[in-house]
Structures are given as structure tokens and as C-alpha cells.
Structure 1
Amino acid sequence: MIMENELLKDDPEITEDDCCTSDRKSHHSDKVKKNLVSRLNRIEGQIRGIKGLIERDTYCDDVITQIAATQSALNSVARILLEGHLRNCVVERIQEGDMEVLDEVLVTVQKLMKK
């Protein structure tokens, strides 16, 4: 099992401040969580499938097509999370007078748009 700190070391874009020290929690319903987990399970299968394609020397264009489909699926998960974040977490924090959340959202959107 990979420890969270090991993951942080591998990605210079992620710092401990970004994900590990926050006391905040998401507000997803059980239905939304189940949907997200189901999507992520399918994505996990797609990744394993791509690995298998590469191991079997599958034609590059076919592998790239599967990578594009997986990226699209991940983007869908991100959109669902972002929508819920805006409708719940961000609205709640603005109502509490915490306007710093707007800067946080802008940084998050920039990360999502980075390619």
C-alpha cells in the first residue's frame, strides 16, 4: 500500500497543504459517492486495460484512443466533484463570509484546465 506522503513526493504540484492537513470534509450524498466510486472503478479497469494493451504491443493509435476515453472519464468525475463543491462547499463558505474560497476555486479550475 502506498502511503499518502509517498504520493505527495511523486507529484511536485501537490503539497501537504493541498490535501492532508485540511479538517474540511465533502458533503456528498451516499448516491453521489456511489456514483463516483462506480465511475472510478471503471476508470481503474480502463487503466489496467491500457496496461494490457501496451504489454501486448497493441497498435499505438488504439492505445491512444483508450487513453483519451479514460481521460474523458476522469474529467467527468472532476466535473461532478466541482459542481458539488460549488453548490455546497463554496456557497456555504461564502455565506459564512469566507471569500478566500473564491481564490481556492480559481486555483482548482486552473489545475483542471492544465493539460
Structure 2
Amino acid sequence: MHGPVGYVADKDELLKRLRRAEGQVRGIQRMVEDDTYCIDVLTQVSAATKALESVALALLDDHLAHCVAEASAEGGPVAEEKLREASAAIARLVR
């Protein structure tokens, strides 16, 4: 079971970034439907990817600052689990 999330204070900004990325993806769909030149589509895919990476990094930063820091102060198995979670999340992001 997980406690309160660390990104609560940044929730509005995260949602704004996600809506922007969603709009970018819709734009990419339209580009493909309209047979837009592939390099132009790839450029937009790159921009959407960067937007999602930005959200992921903000969430990871909040997780480290809130969840991992709190668990580290507690120590023991909870701290070890939070560190494993963070490490696995970082590994997924860099793949």
C-alpha cells in the first residue's frame, strides 16, 4: 500500500504538461492521416517524447524528494523497497 503522493503540489503543472503532450500526439496522428513528410512527423514525435520525459523526470524528482526521503528517514525494509523502486524506475526511463 502506498501513502500520499509526492507530486500533489505540482499536480496542476503536471496535468498541463500531459495535456500539451496529448495535443502533440493528436497532431502527430493528423500528420500521418494527411501523409505529412516523414521527417516532419519524426520531429514532432521527438517533441512529444521530450514532453513525456519531462513529466517522468518531474515525477521521479518528486518521488525521490518525498517518498524515498521519507522512507530513508524511517529506515529498514521500507527504505530498501523505496530505493529499489526508484532504481527500477530510473532503469525504465533510460532504456
- The match for 1:25 is 4
* Superposed counterparts of 1:70-85, under 5 Å: 70-85=48-63
- The match for 1:106 is 87
More helix by share: 2
TM-score normalised by the chain length of structure 2? 0.90
* Alignment partner of 1:57 is 2:31: no
Deviation sequence 1:14-33 (CA, Å, 0-9, x none):
xxxxxxxx443312244x10
Give the Cα–Cα distance (whole angstroms) in 2 for the partners of residues 100 and 23 of structure 1: 12
* Alignment partner of 1:48 is 2:29: no
TM-score normalised by the chain length of structure 1? 0.75
Aligned structure 1 segments of 4 or more residues deviating by more than 6 angstroms: none
Larger RCO, structure (CA 8 Å, separation 6 or more): 2
Give the residue type in structure 1 aligned to 2:67. Answer: C
- The match for 1:39 is 17
Structure 1: give runs of 5+ residues left out of the alignment: 1-21
Give the residue type in structure 2 aligned to 1:54. Answer: V
Structure 2: give runs of 5+ residues left out of the alignment: none
Deviation sequence 1:49-90 (CA, Å, 0-9, x none):
000000000000000000000000111001111111101110
Q: Percent identity?
A: 42
Give the residue type in structure 2 aligned to 1:100. Answer: E
**1:93 Cα deviation after fit:** 0.8
